[in-house]
Amino acid sequence: MADERNYTLYGTEFSLYTGKVRAYLRYKGIPYKEVLSTMGVYERVIVPNTGVRMIPVVQTPSGEFIQDTTEIIDALEARFPERGIYPETPRQRLASLLIELYADEWLLIPAMHYRWSFPEQNERFIMAEFGKVAAPWAPAFIRRALARKRASFFSGMLPVLGISKETGPAIEQWYESLLDHLEQHFSRHRYALGERASMADFGLIAPLYAHLYRDPAPGRIMRERAPSVARWVERMFEDQPAIGEWLPGDEVPDTLLPILRHQFREQFPVLRETVETVADYVSEHPGERVRRRVGQHRFRIGDAEGERAVMAYPQWMLQRALDYYNGLAGADREAAEQLLDAAGGREAMGMEIPRRLVRRNNQLWPA
Ligand SMILES: N[C@@H](CCC(=O)N[C@@H](CS)C(=O)NCC(=O)O)C(=O)O
């Protein structure tokens, strides 16, 4: 029975997006309990109440069900304004939105690569985790069979995300350099924007916890190569930690610039093709729900070229950052432009979205 005052978080410890909401609930001090998303919970709770097979899901004390980490966090921000996670100044706010988009949708690539491309080190651990969650009551041999089925769904996502023999080495190079940049950053700052967490941190914790900190193969790399990043991950799960302020003067620290530069260099070309492909899809299927995958395209990571599915959802997240930026005027706009110039993103952020998307009932629709 749900406690009247409490929120319920449905998810798992090894799910990338569940960690984002768990960290947020703890940081804010919002009373919640976590329920493991077993097969039974999917059938009884998640699918009937959300219409989709996705986690995490949050049930509010009044019985509303919210899927999607961004929507969950935004709904809770409106109800729990203390320790707000959106800075009000233009550069920091824009950086938070951009880093969330990068972390949620682009760092998914190294997260999935390091989980599924190193079976010798990860498989036993992952299969045990999937087995526990699939059907905790079942005998071991059934848990193993169910775990294999669920695991093959997720490892089957590798080609969809463009993870292959060709792109693997470039993904590793990218991730190692990201760790080096984050190590520099978190050896100086408690959070992305200073002494207080923002949406940038909650975005980053998604890939950097469940997969890249907790799985054996990448976990070792993080602890050895970037110990300050590992400490930040641990800090992100503290209950209502003592906090200070974001950096004064709307400063986005220089240590984050390489990350934004990388985003504009590698994620934005993909986003540009995404909005074009979505526009074609919507013209061809007027008024219809937009499928999760709307096409295939070639893309680059470092020196490597690969093939991946064009996913529609990142357009919805991109719209949030673009809408915020396009709504700025005067000195605020200039301040944001300074950041974009420093990150090589001014032209990219001039992007127009021919066919906007909205989320309704956890699906994407043309606006
Ligand atoms: N954008 C969604 C992504 C959620 C998501 O992809 N969750 C994964 C587990 S961590 C999932 O349920 N995947 C099932 C699927 O993709 O069909 C969010 O922020 O909540």
Position 5 scores a pLDDT of 64
Distance 17 CA to ligand 1 centre (A): 7
CB–CB of 56/18 below 8 Å?
Answer: yes
What residue spans define the domains of the chain? 7-79, 118-160, 258-366
- Spatial distance between the Cα atoms of 256 and 166, rounded to a whole number of angstroms: 28
In the chain, which residues have pLDDT < 50?
1-2
pLDDT at 309: 98
What is the number of the ligand 1 atom nearest to the C-alpha of 18? 10
Q: Half-sphere exposure (CA, 13 Å, Cβ side) for 339?
A: 27
pLDDT in tens, 292-312: 999 999 999 999 999 999 999
* Per-residue buried b or exposed e for 294-307, using 16+ beta carbons within 10 Å of the residue's own CB: bbebebebbebebe
Distance 357 CA to ligand 1 centre (A): 18
Residues lining ligand 1, Cβ inside 6 A:
15-17, 53-55, 68-70, 313
pLDDT value for 322? 98
Probe residue for ligand 1, chosen from 16, 55, 100 as the CB with the greatest number of ligand atoms within 8 Å: 55
Q: Whose CA is nearest to atom 16 of ligand 1?
A: 54
**pTM score, whole prediction:** 0.96
If one counts every other C-beta atom within 10 angstroms of the C-beta of residue 259, the result is 23
Alpha carbon of 21 to ligand 1 centroid (Å): 12
Name every residue whose Cβ is closer than 8 Å to that of residue 138 and which is 6 or more positions away in sequence.
Answer: 146
Residues 175-215: pLDDT tens digits? 999 999 999 999 999 999 999 999 999 999 999 999 999 99
pLDDT (0 to 100) of residue 188: 98
Mutate-to-test residue for ligand 1 from 14, 16, 17, highest number of ligand atoms within 8 A of CB: 17
CA of 350 to the centre of ligand 1 (A): 29
The whole-number pLDDT of residue 1 equals 45
Start-to-end Cα distance in the chain: 38
C-alpha atoms less than 13 angstroms from C-alpha of 127 in its C-beta half-sphere: 17
Q: What is the mean pLDDT of the chain?
A: 96
Fold of 7-79: Glutaredoxin (3.40.30)
